[in-house]
């Protein structure tokens, strides 16, 4: 099924008026896609799932709502109502009513006076559901429609009907399974390095020691993305076309490794020991995996 979509998007890639989310799909680049998926597959009747959907939106708010569900609140005098405070562009704050769906028709949702319904142990689950519905669907309908329109200008809606959301998520958001052997098999060496060079052997020893989070940070440091395209390391994209992950000899042994993310290029100095390489590489990865500089 994926083959059919790639045939479609290969043809579509010749279009000149391509918007960012469609280009991520057609060109094989990895792009954060949770909001895009919600735009493509949700509507006003879509159901939100707590805590996973809410956690993508606001982790702190998710924690507060989880506490609300886990504890009795009837005797706490929280003065909490079915409402959500929003700040307007002019600085004014408004309380938007979050009426229970079985109490007021959806098209009158925001006409209810917020203070009329207090949150209690009996209705707190419904309050959480209503708050998610408002934040993740109802309050962003214009933005969702804009994303949907932009995506469908590149990938027609009828083609998406062939796929499940998780399949589109793989194409847009990529993979997070960073297999070391696959990484090694798809790495090129230059500027005097080979697979048998001591710094290269030490490099892969250090990568093998890393937890998945640190490997993702290393990938981000070298390529600009912490995730892989659907095709894995062999499908990495760079400036202009496919660019194989490359480790080149570069820099002084007293300096940190650097990277050219447009070319998936790691410039690794010829360190004199495993310990020196480990320390320098980890500092670079932990503190340099985000941001942008010229080297």
Token look-up 């447009």 returns: 262
Whether 222 is a known active-site residue: answer no
168's tokens? 């589109």
Q: Using omega within 30 degrees of 0 as the cis cutoff, is the peptide bond preceding 102 cis?
A: no
Q: How many CB atoms within 10 Å of residue 208? A: 11
Strand partners, 245: 187
* DSSP tag of 252: -
3-state secondary structure at position 88: coil
Given the residues 15, 88, 222, 262, select the one marked as catalytic: 262
Question: What is the distance between the alpha carbons of residues 64 and 49, in angstroms, rounded to a whole number?
Answer: 16
Token look-up 């309380």 returns: 95
- Cα–Cα distance list, 196 to 132, 201, 244, 256 (Å): 54, 6, 19, 21
57's tokens? 């939106």
Q: What burial class does residue 268 get, using C-beta atoms within 10 Å of its C-beta: 0-12 exposed, 13-18 middle, 19+ buried?
A: buried
**CA torsion angle for 125, 128, 147, 168 (degrees, to 10)?**
-50
Question: What is the distance between the alpha carbons of residues 63 and 208, in angstroms, rounded to a whole number?
Answer: 34
Q: Report, as residue numbers or ranges, the catalytic residues.
A: 262
């Amino acid at each position: 099924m994926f083959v059919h979509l790639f045939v479609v998007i290969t043809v579509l890639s010749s279009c000149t008026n391509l918007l960012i989310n469609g280009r991520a799909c057609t060109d094989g680049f990895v792009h954060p896609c949770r909001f895009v998926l919600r735009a493509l597959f949700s509507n006003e009747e879509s159901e939100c799932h707590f805590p996973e959907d809410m956690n993508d939106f606001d982790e702190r708010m998710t924690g507060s709502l989880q506490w609300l569900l886990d504890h009795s609140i009837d005797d706490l005098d929280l003065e909490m109502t079915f409402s959500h405070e929003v700040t307007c562009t002019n600085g004014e704050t408004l309380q938007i009513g979050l009426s229970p769906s079985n109490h007021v028709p959806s098209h009158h949702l925001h006409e209810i006076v917020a203070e009329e319904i207090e949150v209690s142990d009996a209705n707190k689950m419904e309050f959480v559901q209503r708050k998610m519905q408002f934040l993740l669907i109802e309050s962003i309908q214009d933005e969702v429609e804009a994303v949907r329109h932009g995506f469908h200008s590149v990938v027609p809606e009828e083609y998406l009907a062939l796929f499940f959301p998780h399949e589109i998520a793989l194409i847009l958001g990529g993979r997070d399974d960073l297999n070391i052997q696959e990484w090694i098999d798809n790495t090129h060496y230059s500027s005097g390095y080979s697979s048998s060079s001591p710094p290269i052997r030490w490099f892969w020893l250090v990568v093998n020691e890393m937890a998945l989070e640190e490997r993702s940070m290393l990938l981000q440091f070298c390529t600009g993305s912490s995730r892989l395209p659907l095709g894995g390391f062999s499908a990495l994209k760079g400036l202009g076309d496919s660019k194989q992950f490359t480790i080149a000899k570069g820099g002084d042994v007293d300096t940190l490794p650097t990277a050219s993310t447009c070319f998936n290029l790691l410039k690794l100095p010829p360190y004199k020991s495993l310990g020196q390489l480990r320390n320098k590489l980890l500092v670079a990865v932990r503190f340099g995996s985000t941001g942008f500089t010229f080297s």
